[in-house]
Structure formats: structure tokens, C-alpha cells
Structure 1
């Protein structure tokens, strides 16, 4: 344990493999805390094993920049040599950040609360779209490229069907590693997995074809991209008195369309799957009319891709000038001012959001079944796994009715 950390409480394990502790530090603490720091409540996190240091550094740079502009984002505490992360003898990376107050919304939160969360995401995007892309791309965002999330989901559709077929034929009780853990009922875990497996058995052929067709119509469409949070679900936004109080968990950050964050966020709630199109339309209209979802600056029209993009998004693609309507600087004098601001049609934004949300739902459900049945993966809290699988199954059942 790093020097200066005391009163440590282990928090419930998530699904990523990271370990998080709620703790306090002593005044003038050591390795992870500047000597001038006062005693305060903090979040101590150990990144998953095998996470490379350059990945941690890249995310810390972006999150630190975001925290300087947005109070909802935790700020990192620096070590005595100025670093925001340190590595232990096992090669695991540790960070210490401010503890964010609040609790996640329940899955049955009303649409007003979900909209409030969407506005917080927009606030984060307004700064993220000003951060340099990095990854050897020395120009400013946004860039116009096909959505990475669409490409990834199309690839996963091709690879998941075969292991799913094996799961359909497997002896469930003999495949799932249900351990006798405190608070875990093996029967409930097996019941949740069996229900998910049966739903997939009945609906996967039709659903996968439909999802593939939806994604295929979008796979080459250029959309504005910048750094996004990417893994944004219900548990990653915290609320106090119906207001957003914190934004947490940035492990999955990367460059992609901001629509991906909104799709993942909306897809975490009952109200979305009760009436997906109507809910998405209402929230997009209420969040802000000039948000990155519906307005994207470009000089004329961005290029239309007719062939698959390179494996590394952003390599040499044209960029769009920055727009003051996003709270950004004006384009440099060397860039011809845009004659028009090409808006992504609202219907197209909703179409992309819906396609990503539906694909994420069915692929997430399929992934859980494959991980547990075909691959016999171990998870620290099977009761949380059963809860998540059960909720995904409920949402997929509703979607299958449409």
C-alpha cells in the first residue's frame, strides 16, 4: 500500500479487473501525495494487471485537462516527483484521486434524470473536443472519420456467433464457474445465465442480421470524432439530489464519435428501452440544439468514404475547423472560414445512436454468455454479474418485440 494512505475500505469490485479503495490520507503524506496535501477522502485505484504505462499516462493527461475545466471530474494527487501514477513491484499502476460524492441513478430513473446526465456528458465533450488527439496525430479535433464503435461491433458480430452456438449446446451447470461466495446464490446466477442463453437461442439469428444491416449502412459515414469517455453506463455518473455530482471511471477513453457516449448512457435505463426512438429524440432535443450530436463544423462537406478506413483512425484524414459554438477557439487565419456549418441531420444522429445502443445491448448479452459458459471466466462478484445479465436480458426481450 502506498505511503500516506490510511483508513482504507475496499469498494465492490467492478467488471474491469481494477481494484478501488475509499481511503483517507494523512497530512504531509508520502509517495502518492504532495507533501503539502491535507487529510482528505480519496479514491485509491489499482489498474488491471497488464495495463501498459503509456495507456495510463495518456488517459491521465486527458482526465487532468478535463478536471481543470469541470468540477464533476476527479483530480489526481501527484507524487513527490510530480507524477499522477506510480507502479508497484508487480508492474501494476496505482493512482490517487479525489473521492466523488453521490450515487448512481437506478435503472428505472425518470427521463428528466437521464437527460440531466446527458447534459453532463455534453459538458465533458465540450472540453474533450478541444484536446489534441495525440497518438502521433498533431492536429486539432474534431476529425471526420467512420465511427470506430460501428466498425468494432461489425467485427464482433462475425466472431461471436460460433462460440454462442457452442454455448447453446453446453451443459450449463458444468460450464459456469459458480463459486460458493458470500451473498451469492448459485441457483440465481445459473437462472440468469440460462434465461439469457435461451433468449439468444431464439432471437440471435434475426437480431444479428438486423443489427448487421443497420451498422452496415453507417460503417463508412464520416462523423466528427475526438476523445470520448466511451464506457459510459449508469454506474459511472453520480448524483446528489437529482443533480450530477461526479463522473468516474475513465479506463476506456479513446477517440471516437461522441454519439457513442450518449448511446451507452441512454441504453442503461428502462425508459430508453420502453420507447427507444421517442426517448432518444426527446433527449437529443432537450440536451442542447448545437451539441456535437446534431451540429458539426466542416469546410463544405466532409469526405465520403467508399472504402474501409485505415486500422488507425485519424491517420492523415482531413480535419474540420474548430467552432466557437462548441466553446472553442476560432479557426486559425490560415484556414478558410467555413462557408456553411454542415449539420449532421437529427434523424441520422438518432439512427447512429440507436444502432450503437442496440448492437451494444445484444453483443453485451452475448459476451456475458460466452465468457461464463464457453470460456468459464471468473468474476469476483457473481451476484452483480447475475444482476447485470438479468437487466440486459430484460432489455433484449423488449427489443425483440419490436
Structure 2
């Protein structure tokens, strides 16, 4: 068995004392697979990276995480008996890390949790800036700008054609509502994103998937920050926009949002251009979140473990787009 082979390469204190519990994707969309188990040294999680992930990519992410050694809430991978933290087996990359305590904040978070979450992100960014730091245009802004441009130049029409063939689909009503509004707002968002994509910004290793579900709380303290599979060199403004945009959307929790951004800036001050870039990232996400779910369902026919994920994703994206339209 591949999982047993992988865990057999770890010291005895890191091996399971009972059968690991499969967690599937644990609600994620990356293609990773997770198992939880108890070891003599404490609870652990083993992760198989998505198929096709090169071993060097996992090794690179692990090297970045070593710069966060003084942050107890970061789940840094554990070394195997040969000293490696990433193992290649059966065509997949594997890692073992501590299972950190806590749970995501559900619903509208408390002020204490908002401050703790943004302070944790800022502290992570400060430490990650010590490796592979540089300056330049944001690769993420450029990619999302091009994605939106593709919609304006024909992508919207492809989606409209696909939606017309499935009028009885339960997701069609929200998808069509999104399409009409997105067509109207896209040109303005594209102009803003095009300007922001030219900015020279601080670049460094970043999460690139700073979803609120990845921040685990015990009481009001962050006790876990998990899932580093999307990490790459990017502007910290991308992470800031992702966390703020999904946790505290503009127009819904503005007071908490201001407190969170202030807590972040107290640890890691942000330059004016970073604020511009973060705004552009949020505007792009407001348009593109629902588009991805619509494309996956109506054009690509993707299937998900959570049968309600598509409807929820389209609804969430439509809600964000409507708030953008109302500003």
C-alpha cells in the first residue's frame, strides 16, 4: 500500500498507532488527498499533492515554510528518516505535517478573531519576505486581467451558448443573472486591472489561496494556518485581497474589515500601490468567482465531492458581483 510505504519512511515517533482516517479533499478543489492519524509524537496529517505536481515544487514550498519557524500556527512539514520533507511515491508527492488544533470562524467573526487573522497573515508575510523577495508587476493580476479580457472578447458568448442549451438546470437562473451583470461591469473592471497590472510591487512567496477556511481558531487565537499548496511568488496584496474579500466582503462588514486591514498594517505596513493592487484583485474576483463555477458546470462538466458546491459557488459569486455593481 502506497500510504503505508510513505509513512514507513518516517521515524517511529511519526508513524501511525492506528489506521489513518481518509479525509478526501477536505473540502478543497486542488486535487490533494488527505489522511489524519495519531502518532506517538502527536496528531498528524499526510497529504498527497495533486497528480502532476513535481517533487521540486513541493521542496520549494517547504523551503519557504522553514522561514516561519517561529510561528506556532504554521503547519510545517516533518522530515522523513533521510531528512527530506517531500517524498515521491507512485507518481505523487507526499508530505506529513502536524495536525493543528482549531476550527475556521463560521459566520460573521468577532473583532478579536478578525484582528488575530489579519495579524497572522501579516506575520507570515514578514517572514516569507526574507526569501525570494523582489519587485515587479504582479503575475496574478496579469493572469486575471487576461482571463477577464478573454471573457470580453468572446468568452461571455461561449457561456451564453452553453447556458441556452440547459434552461432547466437548477443553476441556470443565477448563472444567467451573473452573465448579464458581468457583461455590463467587465469593461470597467478590465480597465482598472490593466492599470494595476503595470504597477511595480513587492513580490515574495505568498499563499495565493488565503481563504478564511484555512485560518483555524481556538477561542480568539489563530492556532492553525493550513494548505500551502498554491504558494508561489506574488504580491502580498493578493493574499490580503483574498482574505478580506471572502471573509469580510466590501459593503457587508465594513467596520470589521477596516479593523482587520489596520491590524495587518500594524504588523506589515502597506504601500499605496499595494492597496490599489488589492482593490483590483477584489474587483476581478467579484467578476470571476461565479464564472469559474459556471464554466466548470456548463462547459467542462466537472464533478465535485460536494454536490452543492457548484450552486453555492455561483450564488456566492453573484452576490459579490451585485455588491460591486452597487458601489
- Common fold: TM-score over 0.5: yes
Structure 1 match to 2:159 = 167
Paired with 2:214 and 2:249, the residues of 1 have a C-alpha distance of 17
Is 1:352 aligned to residue 282 of structure 2? Answer: no
Spell out the pairing of 1:155-234 with structure 2 (5 A cutoff): 155-161=146-152, 162-170=154-162, 190-191=169-170, 193-234=171-212
1:20 aligns with 2:11: no
TM-score (normalizing by structure 2): 0.87
1:130 is aligned to: 130
1:70 correspondence with 2:71: yes
1: CA distance, partners of 2:21 / 2:267: 43
Q: Which residue, out of 262, 265, 289, partners 1:288?
A: 265
Task: State the Cα distance separating 1:52 from its structure 2 match.
Answer: 0.9
Q: Secondary structure at the match of 1:274?
A: coil
Whether contact under 8 Å (2:297, 2:310) holds in the other structure is no
The answer for the alignment partner of 1:153 in structure 2 is 144
- Give the structure 1 partner of residue 21 of structure 2: 9
Q: 1:173 to 1:112 in 2, by over 3 A?
A: farther
**Contact 2:149–2:190, Cα closer than 8 Å, also in 1:** no
Give the Å deviation of 1:277: 7.2
Cα distance, 1:95 vs structure 2: 0.8
Q: In 1, are the aligned partners of 2:121 and 2:264 still within 8 Å (CA)?
A: no
| Equivalent residues of 2:207, 2:230 under 8 A apart | yes
Show the 5 A alignment for 1:15-164: 15-25=29-39, 38-66=40-68, 68-89=69-90, 91-131=91-131, 133=132, 141=133, 143-161=134-152, 162-164=154-156
Give the secondary structure class of the aligned counterpart of 1:42.
Answer: strand
Work out whether residues 122 and 267 of structure 2, in 8 Å CA contact, stay in contact via their aligned partners in 1. no
How far has the Cα of 1:280 moved from its partner? 5.1
3-state secondary structure, aligned to 1:262: helix
* Partner SS, residue 286 of structure 1: helix
Question: Any stretches of 5+ residues in structure 2 without a counterpart?
Answer: 9-14
CA 365–171 in structure 1, closer or farther in 2 if over 3 Å, else same: closer
How far apart are residue 171 of structure 1 and its match? 5.1
Closer/same/farther in 2, CA of residues 225 and 100 from structure 1, 3 Å limit: same
Please identify which structure carries the higher helix content: 2
CA contact 1:196–1:365 (8 Å) conserved in 2: no
Distance 1:108 1:46, change over 3 A: same
Contact 2:119–2:267 (CA under 8 A) maintained in structure 1: no
User: Could you tell me which residue of structure 1 aligns to residue 12 of structure 2?
Assistant: none
1:267 partner SS: helix
Q: Distance in 2 between matches of 1:196 and 1:54?
A: 41
TM-score with structure 1 setting the length? 0.72
Aligned length: 312
Q: Deviations over 1:253-303 (max 9, x none)?
A: 11111111110001112x42325877655433333346242xxxxxxxxxx
Contact persistence 1:114–1:266 (CA under 8 A):
no
Q: Equivalents in 2 of 1:392, 1:93: separation in Å? A: 32
Q: Tell me the SS of whatever aligns to 2:30.
A: coil
Kept after mapping to 2: 8 A contact 1:53/1:93: yes
Equivalent-residue separation in structure 1 for 2:307 and 2:250 (angstroms)? 25
Cα drift, residue 195 of structure 1? 3.9
Equivalent-residue separation in structure 2 for 1:96 and 1:174 (angstroms): 44
Aligned match for 1:373, one of 276, 287, 298? 298
2:320 is aligned to 395
